Structure 1
Amino acid sequence: MWIRSNNLRPVPKHILVLISMVFGSLPVALDRSIADDSVKQPAYESNAALKTFDLTKKSALSGDPAAQGALGDMYAAGAGTPKNLGLAVRWWVKAAAAGNGRAAYNAGVAFLGGAGVERDPSQAFRWLLVAANEGDADAQSYLGELYSKGLGIAKDDRKAVAWWQKAAENGSLSGQLNFGVTLLSGAGVAQDNEAGIRWIERAAGGGDPAAQYTLGDLFITGTGVGRNLSEGARWMLKSAEGGYPAAQRVMGYLCIAGEVVPKDESAAFAWWLKAAQQGDRESQERVAGVYYDGQLVKQDFRLAVTWWLRAAELGSTDAEYNLGAAYFQGQGVERNIDLAISWWKKASSQGDQNSKEALQKLKVY
């Protein structure tokens, strides 16, 4: 019953799953007016900010849709008032009901992500449709995703493609990526590899990290385009430098392989750590293993356990097994057979064979 660690394994055979790019998880960040907490917000106590807020609120209360939308923005950013996403959404909805497309977009994304309001895909669809009909390219791209997953509306691949095409033609990078991927996969549209690659290249050239990752993946696998490892690595690096976790993970493997980029195990660990810190489960497993093995960094069982815990929270059965082994052996944690059994039972229930064998050896079923 030993901990499994395969961090310096050869690069696994890469399998591109185009459908996962089309039907992947929906972004929930409000990328217009709901500012990230890590961004320094204007101090709402300043006299100028307070005055602007008061004037805007007065206009909003009088029924001005533009002011209502702006007031929502102020509540979202904490400009002239304490930050309050609930009030932000309330004012965006008022503005959206009066035809304010920008406010409708913000309200739709808020309902989609459950920011300041209970998550409600139907309401998300309602307000994103208003914004999309006002010509908002990002809202059009979101509608494509909602139709593709059947969120808030009946699933309809053809309508998803139609909205992605509108979004792509109107300059949405996510729309260009999704439209390109559907053209490659033929989901809801006639397959057209050449056009699909062209749209993905357009999004990648526009700086979209997800598109850069996808394009790199396509070149590495030779899917829809001639296989070109150097070009694939170039786009992967751009995406990784842009902060895209999946690309950072792949760069780690490329650095281990040393075929298209210089072999550098320390660089591999650095890439995995970046991705792990953003919640990439596979990278969290790699980082945990590196700390456990002590090959690239000073051996630290406690840090290994910390990263296995994070990976386990995301459903990694490997991490669950390793946590069981750590508790059984008392490595990085105080020895606790009950917790070891608990982790092995959890992994075993998900089909992990090693955990089943560990439980059998303990005669626990």
Structure 2
Amino acid sequence: MSPAFLLLAAAASVLPAHALAARIPYPQEVMVYDLNACPRPAWPAGALSQRAAGKTTVEVQVGAAGMVSDARVAVSSGRADLDEAALAGIRRCVFHAVLATGQAPTGWLKTQYVWVPGEAARPPGQDRQLFARTSKLAAEGDPAAQNLLGTWYQHGTYVKADLAQAASWYLRAAQGGNAWAQNNLGVLYNRGAGVPRDQRQAVAWYAKAAAQDHRWAQANLAWAYQHGSAGEPDPDKALYWLTKSATGGLAAAQLRLGMQGMQRAVLDEDRALAAAWLARAAAQDYPPGLYYLGRSFELGLGNVQDDAQAAAYYRRALGRSEGRAELALGMLLDAGRGGAADPEGAASLYQKAMQSRLPPAYYRYGLVLEQRGDDELALAVFRQGAELGDCDAIVKYVQLRPAPGAPWELRAQACAARPELPPRL
């Protein structure tokens, strides 16, 4: 988990979506596997700061070794920088799965990048009025308005993002005793965003907000003490502040406390206490809490082993766990645990997990393809997982590919030499 709980930039995502091309249907269909494994295009700074949105449709030709031999924009997003970023991104892709179809992709293959920066940059009239009223209150010394203005400058809400301005308004509000601003200013100092990086200053502001029972500040302060951000680590203070935050109801702190408890547990009673914290996070519908509580039921750690309960929690976390719930539920369905086996349902879940670039999902889906007899495509998917660092995929790729090459063989040997570890969340 990240030590910073406050986003410092506009939320952004690039979502590849393949479009059908009649000329080469089968390579086009499997193109999505390669796109899932590709590095995401770099978001142009100018477009991000302006919250520019759009869709860039690109076409590529695949040459030897799956490399892009040519690329062009088929439908523009309306912005040259987004289009250029899409082209630069697609040119870095390697299309192992496309080549594995056994058909020469002599035509153009098509895909689309959907640029979704978040809310619109230009507010309607009532929002401009709100910004004006808040600015007036902030200038008159209202700490709550000053903190709110800081968050708007930080996230580019109603105004162009400006971290230095955000820090300035947070400082005024923090000096006026506003706990939210004190925590927010601490986050900026911790990251060096809008202010010089100064972890001692960060801890000092966290401490002021934590003393006012600000739950995020307490969790951030716990992280600082755990990792010694501004001095020597202090496990006792870290545990004190994390427990205080978790007891106060912060789901992220409850999850961290539960995970730390699991890592340190020696007795079943310790694991049960840790699982209770996971359950409190899950009760707030916190996706990581749901996923890890499901794991505790699947592995029988802190809870009685129960595949049906595990599956129920995984289902609640689907689409919100970066592919982990999809992978875990898919493996249960694949093995027929907690009900009848559902290989097709498992395969669909593995594909969804691959969209989150979760390395083990490539290995699992490769096994599905292998069982279907699609050996060449399976080998390509194993390679994708191997390039993302999954040891099972690396070993499988080396086993199946003739003359895999010395670097791959060395990586497979290192993976095979891994010590057997006990189950953990």
TM-score by length of 2: 0.59
2:113 is equivalent to residue 36 of structure 1? no
Residue 347 of structure 1 corresponds to: 411
Residue 88 of structure 2 corresponds to: none
- Per-residue deviation at 1:204? 1.3
2:329 is equivalent to residue 251 of structure 1? yes
Residue 200 of structure 1 corresponds to: 278
Name the CA distance, whole Å, in 2 between partners of 1:145 and 1:30: 14
Secondary structure of the residue aligned to 1:155 is coil
Contact 1:75 1:84 in 2 (8 A): yes
Unaligned residue ranges in structure 2 (runs of 5+): 13-115, 418-425
Aligned identity (percent) is 28
Residues 186, 321 of structure 1: alpha-carbon distance in 2 compared, 3 angstrom cutoff? closer
Contact 1:75 1:81 in 2 (8 A): yes
Deviations 1:213-248 (CA, angstroms, capped at 9, x unpaired): 222222222222322222222222223354353222
Residue 264 of structure 1 corresponds to: 342
Name whichever structure is richer in helix by fraction.
Answer: 1
Name the CA distance, whole Å, in 2 between partners of 1:122 and 1:109: 11
Name the CA distance, whole Å, in 2 between partners of 1:186 and 1:353: 27
Q: Give the residue type in structure 2 aligned to 1:155.
A: P
Name whichever structure is richer in strand by fraction.
Answer: 2
Name the CA distance, whole Å, in 1 between partners of 2:165 and 2:319: 36
Matches within 5 A, 1:45-194: 46-61=124-139, 63-112=141-190, 121-183=199-261, 192-194=270-272
Matches within 5 A, 1:168-317: 168-183=246-261, 192-240=270-318, 242-287=320-365, 289=366, 293=370, 295=372, 300=377, 304=381, 307-308=384-385, 312=387, 315-316=389-390
- Per-residue deviation at 1:256? 1.1
Residues 254, 352 of structure 1: alpha-carbon distance in 2 compared, 3 angstrom cutoff? closer
Secondary structure of the residue aligned to 1:105 is helix
Contact 1:65 1:94 in 2 (8 A): yes
- Per-residue deviation at 1:254? 0.8
- Per-residue deviation at 1:148? 2.9
Q: Give the residue type in structure 2 aligned to 1:304.
A: V
Q: Give the residue type in structure 1 aligned to 2:304.
A: G
Residues 250, 73 of structure 1: alpha-carbon distance in 2 compared, 3 angstrom cutoff? same
Name the CA distance, whole Å, in 1 between partners of 2:185 and 2:410: 39
Unaligned residue ranges in structure 1 (runs of 5+): 1-24, 330-336, 355-365
Name the CA distance, whole Å, in 2 between partners of 1:69 and 1:279: 37
Q: Give the residue type in structure 2 aligned to 1:73.
A: T
- Per-residue deviation at 1:102? 1.2
- Per-residue deviation at 1:207? 0.9
Name the CA distance, whole Å, in 1 between partners of 2:316 and 2:409: 41
Larger mean CA deviation between 39-48 and 159-168 belongs to 39-48
Residues 344, 140 of structure 1: alpha-carbon distance in 2 compared, 3 angstrom cutoff? same
Secondary structure of the residue aligned to 1:351 is helix
- Per-residue deviation at 1:171? 1.1
TM-score by length of 1: 0.67
Contact 2:153 2:161 in 1 (8 A): yes
